[in-house]
Structure formats: C-alpha cells, structure tokens
Structure 1
Amino acid sequence: MKRLAWWLAGILVIVGSCVGIHELTSYTVQSAQHATITVGSMGSDYDIWQHIAKSQDAKAMGLTIKVKQITDGVQLNKATADGDVDVNAFESWSYYETYNRQNPKEKLAALGTTYLEPMGLYSKKVTSVEAIPDGATIAIADNPSQASRGLLLLQKAGLIKLSANFGALGSLKDIKRNPRHLKFKQIDDTTGPRIIKNVDAVLISNTVALEGHLHVLRDSIYHESFNKSTKANVNILATAAKNKHRASYLKLVKLYHKADIQKYIKQKYYGTKINVNKPLSYFND
C-alpha cells in the first residue's frame, strides 16, 4: 500500500509538471503572438501606420501595433538597430543601403517592399524641363541618398550627364556634362516647398511635397516613373538584422498590401504612393 501511494503521488507530480509546462509554453507562444510591435515612422508614413494599427486587417492578423514618430531618418534607423523601434517604415532601398554602408556595426535588414513615391522637379518660373534657362539654379537635397536620386532624375530629364559608375553615394562631383551650365543650391530636403520661388527649379521628395500641398503627378514639371531604373527608390520596411526572420514582423509586409489598406492610401494620397509588392530579390535583378 505504501508503495502504491508513493507511485500514485509520483504520477500526480509528473502530470502536474507536464500541465504546468504546457500552460507555460502556451502562455509564452500566445504572448509572442500578441506582443506589441513598435513601428517607427515620419510624415505621411506615420499617418498611414496609425491607420493600419487601428484597422480590422491588423486585428484579423493578430497584430498589435504601436506607432512612434521620429522625424530624423538617421536617428530612426539607429533606434531600429538599437531595438527602441522594432520596424521602421520611411526609407527607400537606396537610403537603407547607404545607411548600412555607413553603419556596418549597426546594420538593418529589409523585410519587404511597400511603395514608390515619385520624386519631382518643381518650378514656379517655368512650366517644362525644356524651358529651364541656361545658368538656372536648381535646388537639391544636401543628404546623400536624396541628392543622388535627384541627380539621376535630372539625367533622366536630359539636363545633365553623370559618370558611368554613379551610385547611391553619388554627388555633384559626378556630373560629367552640364550643357545648360546649371548651378546647384544644396538645401535641407524638408525646405523644398518653402524655397520654390527663390530658385528656378527644386527637386522635392513626395513626402515633403505632400506636406507642402504639392501633388507630384499634377504640379511637377518632371517626375519619376515606376520601372527598373527607379527600383532603388522603392520604399521598404526595415528591422534590426537579427530580427529579419521574425514572423510577426514579416506579417507587416502582407498587412500593408491588403486591399482595404491600399484603397485608403490611394484615396488619401491621390495615387502618389504607387503600391509595389515585389520580393526582395527584385533589387538584385
């Protein structure tokens, strides 16, 4: 009888332990599935992700999202690398690559694509690229990624010719031909709409243009199109390199491309944020 009692007690302890382990495991898995994801963003992207965080699509996918606004791109990337932000939603592929080159010890990883916002060339003095006069002053961003993007746009417009090896860190020094003797004024890229009357033309990213009540498809005299030549300007979601395979973060990419979310974005931003749902291999093709 004593042996039977000890044997039964042992079974109860083992069963109790297994139940406890199961409950702990279930709780851990459940907690991981419902953990809050902090998305860092700025400008119109901040507004978009606030909408996404409150959407039925997010709830249906079991995602709880907190949106944090950081208005400096470098600081936002550093916050992501440090873990203060889980995922960021603001940067183009070229901006991301430039950051990783300049910060090899705090590298980020891309999760997926979101959209292309066309950069535009704006002017209050002329109505076409052809009308830009000899010796005109063009305002261009003073940060490397936006500057190189702007120079590529000017080349596409036929205004300048760049060196053959021009890349993401290309600068004004890489201009090989300037037949109209254009002058360049480097500016903080957030001030474009405010100085548009002070120069002959200014290159403005669409996020900044929207904040300045400018519509790139309607108000610019020249703008980017979505094709292979502009793939480096496609925006992405990024996270710290160690988190690149985290399932809940990867879900954000699918969430962004949901039909209801895209309908909202198209209506609110007048079609200026062109949806791009491509695999990351698209950038290497």
Structure 2
Amino acid sequence: MRRGKQVFLTVILALSIILLVGCGNKAKASQNDTIIVGSQGSDLDIWEHIAKSSQAKKLGLKIKTKEITDGAQLNNATSQGQVDVNAFQSWSYYQAYNKQNPNGKLIALGTTYLEPLGIYSKKYKSLKDIPNGTTVAIANNPANTSRDLLLLQKAGLITLKKGFNALGNTKDITANPKNLKFKEIDDTTGPRVLNDVPVVLISNTVALESGLHVLTDSIYHEKVDQGTKDNINILATAAKNKNNTNYQKLVKLYHNKEIQKYIKKKYFGTKIEVNKPLTYLKNK
C-alpha cells in the first residue's frame, strides 16, 4: 500500500513538471509572438498607431515599438535580434549597411513610401526664374549631398558625370549652365537658411517640422520613378528571418487602406505610398 502511494505521488510529480514546462514554453512562445518594430521620428509615430490598430488585430499581429534614433545602431540591433523588424531606412541606406556589414546582413521585406526631397525658394517661383550665378544650399553630409545633386540634375540645372553615386559631390558636376554656386549646410537648418540663400534643398522631414509642404511649397520635388527608387523606404529584418510569414504581414498591414488614410491625413500626403515588389528596387 505504501509503495502504491509512492508510485501515485511520483506520477503526480511527473505530470506537474510536464505541465509547468508546457506552461513555460507556452509563455515563451507567447512572448515570441510579439513583433518588436524598431523605428525613429515620424516612422515611430506611425508604427505606434499601427500597433494599436484594429487592422493589426485582424491579422493576428502583436506589435511593440522600440525607439533607436541612430540608424546604424538600429540596423545592428535588428541584425542581432534585439529588434525583429525596422522601419526607418531607404533602399540605398540598407544597401550601404549590408555592404559594410557582410556578417550581419539584413533583408528587405517590402517597400513603404517615398518622402520627396524638395527645392525651395522664397525669391523665385519656378526653376526658369533662377538666374545665372545663384547660390544653392545643399546638405553637407555625403548621402544627402549626392541626393541633392541628383535632384538638381533631374530639374535640368546641372549635369553629373556618368556613374555618379551616393559618395558623389560637386566635383562630379560636368555641366553647370547657370553657373550656380553651392553652399553646404547642415541639412536640418534648411528652412532657416531660406531667409538668406535664394535656393535651398530641404528634406521632407525637416520641411514638415517647419510648416513647409513639399508638394505645394517647393518649386520642384522628387517623384516616384526609377530615378528615385534608391530613396524609397523599406521594412527590413535579419537575413535569417526571410521566411517569417508574420514579418511579411507587416508590409501588407502598412499598405492597408485605413492605415494609409491615417498616414496621409497626419502627414498631409507627403509620405507617398510606394507599394511595389522588391524587384522594382533591384532592377537596374
């Protein structure tokens, strides 16, 4: 009888352990079901809204946001698994990061938007009004300097050498028919500089913060085409997660009609939706 009781207690103990381990694994799995989206600035605001949305619930997605304001740190955190998916970078930034970090590569999940860079002026109402010898303020950091120059070329104001890339600068200008002069500035000061410099190139984020609307206040701005595809923003994750279906659902969620309605209203239509396959960015 005593032995039977010991066997009974042993079985109960074993079952308890199994249940505890099962509960522990379930709790762990539950934690792992939450997708941590790392972001910054207006993108962080958007994903905080998305995380609370009914659209996320309908897709069965639990989202938690994490703010990391330095781009390289955010990509590193994604590569190392501290962040599951990040939402902040352009296709060109992503490519540069992967080139510099071959052992911690990320993969793109899908496209999100283009924030147009604009050419602004308080003095001139159109490109044709810009006279010879005009001073143009451009960004003093390499990535934005090259983007500024590419827009000036697109506007027909200058010509750049063949093969101009993200490391290019004013030395790569091969034709400057209006003899424009270039003043390099901290690109966050663009709106203030507008009072002193006739023509200034300003990113949309900086413009919005100063009450400028790129689609109505600039005299020329980027459009979604093959020439601006490198500036299209994406969602990215660690390479090992390329087949994660829940992460892929985030792209669909971003492009949800109601989510887009919110984004367009909050940012006055300046975050232009780009819902294209990744092959659009990869094609030369």
Smaller-chain TM-score bracket: 0.7 to 0.9
- Judged with a 3 Å threshold, the aligned counterparts in structure 2 of structure 1 residues 72 and 129 are, in CA distance, closer, same or farther, namely farther
Structure 2 partner of 1:66: 64
- Judged with a 3 Å threshold, the aligned counterparts in structure 2 of structure 1 residues 73 and 142 are, in CA distance, closer, same or farther, namely farther
> Deviation at 1:147?
2.0
Unaligned runs of 5+ in 1: none
> Deviation at 1:24?
6.6
Query: 2:32 and 2:59 mapped to 1: Cα distance?
Result: 10
Kindly report the root-mean-square deviation, in angstroms, between the aligned alpha carbons of the 2 structures. Answer: 2.7
8 Å contact kept, 1:144–1:169: yes
Query: 1:105 and 1:126 mapped to 2: Cα distance?
Result: 49
8 Å contact kept, 1:113–1:237: yes
CA-to-aligned-CA distance 1:22-56 (integer Å, 9 cap, x gap): 95798279526632x22222222121111111111
Letter in 2 for 1:116: L
- Judged with a 3 Å threshold, the aligned counterparts in structure 2 of structure 1 residues 134 and 73 are, in CA distance, closer, same or farther, namely farther
Query: 1:128 and 1:55 mapped to 2: Cα distance?
Result: 42
Q: TM-score, normalised by structure 2?
A: 0.85
> Deviation at 1:264?
0.6
> Deviation at 1:136?
1.9
Query: 1:143 and 1:98 mapped to 2: Cα distance?
Result: 15
Structure 1 partner of 2:30: 31
Q: TM-score, normalised by structure 1?
A: 0.85
Letter in 2 for 1:137: T
CA-to-aligned-CA distance 1:110-167 (integer Å, 9 cap, x gap): 1110011111111122221122222222222233322222111100111110111112
Per the alignment, in what secondary structure is the counterpart of residue 68 of structure 1?
Answer: strand
1:265 and 2:274 correspond: no
- When structure 1 is superposed on structure 2, of 203-212 and 140-149 the one drifting more is 140-149
Q: Map 1:64-213 to 2 at 5 A.
A: 64-213=62-211
1:48 and 2:28 correspond: no
> Deviation at 1:273?
1.3
Query: 1:195 and 1:282 mapped to 2: Cα distance?
Result: 36
- Judged with a 3 Å threshold, the aligned counterparts in structure 2 of structure 1 residues 76 and 30 are, in CA distance, closer, same or farther, namely closer
Query: 1:229 and 1:55 mapped to 2: Cα distance?
Result: 34
Percent identity between the two aligned chains? 62
Per the alignment, in what secondary structure is the counterpart of residue 190 of structure 1?
Answer: helix
Letter in 2 for 1:27: K
> Deviation at 1:263?
0.8
Query: 2:185 and 2:82 mapped to 1: Cα distance?
Result: 30
Q: Map 1:222-261 to 2 at 5 A.
A: 222-261=220-259
Letter in 2 for 1:102: Q
CA-to-aligned-CA distance 1:223-274 (integer Å, 9 cap, x gap): 0111222221111011222333322222211110111101111111121111
Per the alignment, in what secondary structure is the counterpart of residue 99 of structure 2?
Answer: helix
Per the alignment, in what secondary structure is the counterpart of residue 191 of structure 1?
Answer: helix
Structure 1 partner of 2:278: 280
Per the alignment, in what secondary structure is the counterpart of residue 149 of structure 1?
Answer: helix
> Deviation at 1:219?
0.4
Letter in 2 for 1:168: A
Query: 2:59 and 2:21 mapped to 1: Cα distance?
Result: 24
- Judged with a 3 Å threshold, the aligned counterparts in structure 2 of structure 1 residues 171 and 81 are, in CA distance, closer, same or farther, namely farther
Per the alignment, in what secondary structure is the counterpart of residue 271 of structure 1?
Answer: coil
Query: 2:102 and 2:164 mapped to 1: Cα distance?
Result: 22
8 Å contact kept, 1:98–1:145: no
Letter in 1 for 2:222: E
8 Å contact kept, 1:120–1:203: yes
Per the alignment, in what secondary structure is the counterpart of residue 208 of structure 2?
Answer: helix
Unaligned runs of 5+ in 2: none
Per the alignment, in what secondary structure is the counterpart of residue 187 of structure 2?
Answer: coil
Query: 2:219 and 2:131 mapped to 1: Cα distance?
Result: 14
Aligned residues: 274
- When structure 1 is superposed on structure 2, of 247-256 and 133-142 the one drifting more is 133-142
- When structure 1 is superposed on structure 2, of 75-84 and 265-274 the one drifting more is 75-84
Letter in 2 for 1:196: L
